[in-house]
Structures are given as C-alpha cells and as structure tokens.
Amino acid sequence: MNRVVHPIEEESYRRLRARLDTSHFPPLTRAVVERVIHSAADLDYATDLVMDEGSLEKAHAALHAGAPVVVDVEMVAAGITRRETVCRLRDAVAGPGLTRSAHAIRLAHEQVGPGALWVIGNAPTALEELLTLDAAPALVIGLPVGFVGAVESKAALRESGLPAVSNVSEKGGSAVASAALNALLYHPLSHPVPHPDSHSEEKS
C-alpha cells in the first residue's frame, strides 16, 4: 500500500534500530517486532514475541488478497486505520460460563467463516473462545493483556498449532495487537496479489 511515513516515525525507527539490532530477523518477523516495539516503546518485545515467518508470509498474502480482519474490541479496530474490521462486541451478551467478549467472537465467526485474520488484544476469554471454534484462521494475533488468563490463553494458542503471533508474558494490549496487524498491512508485496474473486490474469 502507498503510505507516507511521517518524519517522527522515521526518527523513532532510527533510534529503535540504534538501540536494538533487528537485522537478523526475517523480513515479516522484523516488521512485526519493530512495529510492536514502536507502539509500546518496549524493547523487551524482541524476545517476548513468538511467531513463524512462514505463517506470516501466508497471512500477509491473505490479508492483501482481502481476507476479513476480526478484532475483539473497538480499541483494536481504532488502531487499524487503513482496513475495515469486524467487531461484534456491541452485539454480544454475557451468559452463564460465557463472557461478552467470548460471545462476540462466536458472533464474528458466524459472520466471517474460515480464513480470517483475528486480532485479539484485550480479552483472554476472547482468545480462549476462538480456540474452541473451527475458525481455520489465516492468522491469530493473540496479544491479550492482563494478570488473569492472558499468559495461559497465549500458551494455549501456541499449543494449538494455529498460525499465530503471540507473546510469553502478561504484556500485550490493543495498541500492540493492532501494531502487529499494521506491520503486515504496511509491508510491501513482493508480487501483485490477484483479487480473491477474480479467475482472470488481471492483477489487483
């Protein structure tokens, strides 16, 4: 995508790279690590984040081919300014053994089906609910924050074998979750991606 980088952001990245060598990371992993660090001003994310370059490559292609993006809360949606997102929290209702955040994930899954990118930065219960569904995601960015359930839900995500971006500690949040998605959104394509509804040779 065509994006003009503000001089303040350029200077922020220059200072980040002066303090932390990220050159050993593969391209998309580096993009995610740097943008998450940039969003939080926290260099510890360089060793806290867990992801796989191959999964990121597939997710990057799916994102740029128009795959839906689902978020758990509006704060995550607000951080993703160049892409429409699905958030069903306003429609969700808590029930016995089911938080409102978890119900929102169910509603979103019914709406988008398989192949979406899921961005969870707030509620561990949203991530836990996603793992119970047959969502077949293109990627799960699971970075919920908190002292209750966050570490456990992210560990369960890694154990699930789903393509994912997660982190080991209690840290996370809406800003870093949206930053991880934006890293893939802003990263240039190595080649044009055909529109998912097109069967011709025309490239979008």
State both tokens at 203: 């490239």
163-196 burial code (b ≥16 CB/10 A, e <16): bbbbbeeebbbbbbbbbbbbbbbebeeeeebeee
Tell me, yes or no, if 103 is annotated catalytic: no
Q: Hey, which residues does 120 pair with through a beta bridge?
A: 142
Report angle CA 62, 143, 170 to the nearest 5 degrees: 160
Element (H, E) at 76: helix 74-79
CA distance 16 to 125: 33
Identify the active-site residue in 6, 24, 38, 191.
38
Q: Hey, which residues does 71 pair with through a beta bridge?
A: 119
* Catalytic machinery residues: 38
